[in-house]
Structure 1
Amino acid sequence: MIRRRLLLGAALAVPALAAARAQGPSHGEYPDRPIRYLCPYPPGATNDNVSRTMSRALSPRLGVPVVVENKAGAGGTVGSRLVAEAKPDGYTLLNASAGNLTIAPHLSRVGYDPLRDLVPVALAGEAYSLVAVNPKLGVSTLAELIALARRRPGFLNYASSGIGSAGHLRGALLMEAAGVEAVHVPFPGSAAAATSVITGDCHLIIDPIAAPHAAEGRLQPLATVGAERWEDFAGVPTLIEQGFGRDWPVSGWFGLFAPRGTPEPVIARLNREFNESLAQPEVNAALRRFGLKPEPISPEELARRTAADHAAIGATLRRLDIA
Structure 2
Amino acid sequence: MFVHGSASTFRSAAAPGLFAPDLFEDDFGLAPHLASQGIDVWGIDLRWTFVPVEETDFSDMQGWTLGSHVEDLRRATAIARSVRAASGSGRGRLFFSGHSLGADIALAYANAETQRPPGHRDVRGLIPIDIIYKLTSPQTQGLRDDAAARYAANRALYDAGTYEFGPGAQLAPLIGAGLSAPSDPSPLAPGWTNLQAATAVFTNTYLFYAPLPAYTPHYHFSAGVFDPSTGAPVGCQHVDAIDMLQVAQRFPPYQALIEAVEIDALISGAVDVPYDDHLHEVTVPVLHVGAAGGFGAAGAETLSLLGSTDTTAHIVQLQPPGAEVVDYGHVDLLWAADSEALVWQPIADWIATR
Query: TM-score, normalization: structure 2?
Result: 0.31
Q: Quick check: which has more Rg, 1 or 2?
A: 1
Structure with the largest fraction of strand: 1
